């Protein structure tokens, strides 16, 4: 499994999903953020100093990617329509 540093690098590389119109990158963002939220503590300390991490920013990145994935999935599913005979078909 990837380290926090590796996940951060992967996340940064995938954040251009809107500019590149990449559905797979958007899905990767969701995955990387989920993994980071599990691995990264909200705060940590050592030798009298401490650092805290903003999990709200990560969650917002994930939520934005989810909206993008949903919009792209809905668009591509609705993009194909078939005409077939039905009870109200008029020729």
- Residue spans of the domains in the chain: they are 1-41+53-64
* R_g of the chain computed on alpha carbons: 20
Closest CA relative to residue 30, chosen from 61, 7, 4, 75: 61
- The tokens of 13 are what? 């590389």
The percentage of residues in the chain with a pLDDT greater than 90, rounded to a whole number, is: 55
pLDDT in tens, 25-46: 999 999 999 999 998 766 555 6
Predicted confidence at residue 78, as pLDDT, reads 52
Task: List all residues 6 or more positions away from 89 whose beta carbon is below 8 Å from its beta carbon.
Answer: none
Q: pLDDT in tens for each of the 91 residues of the chain?
A: 789 899 999 999 999 999 999 999 999 999 999 999 998 766 555 666 666 668 899 999 999 999 999 999 886 555 555 556 665 655 5
Predicted confidence at residue 83, as pLDDT, reads 59
Predicted confidence at residue 54, as pLDDT, reads 81
Give Cα separations from 68 to 19, 27, 74 (angstroms): 12, 9, 10
């Amino acid at each position: 499994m990837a380290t926090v540093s590796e996940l951060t690098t992967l996340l940064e590389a995938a954040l251009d999903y809107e500019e590149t119109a990449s559905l797979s990158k958007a899905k990767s963002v969701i995955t990387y953020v989920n993994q980071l939220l599990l691995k990264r503590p909200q705060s940590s300390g050592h030798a009298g100093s401490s650092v805290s991490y903003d999990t709200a920013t990560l969650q917002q990145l994930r939520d934005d990617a989810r909206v993008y994935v949903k919009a792209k999935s809905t668009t591509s599913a609705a993009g194909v329509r078939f005409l077939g005979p039905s009870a109200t078909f008029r020729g």
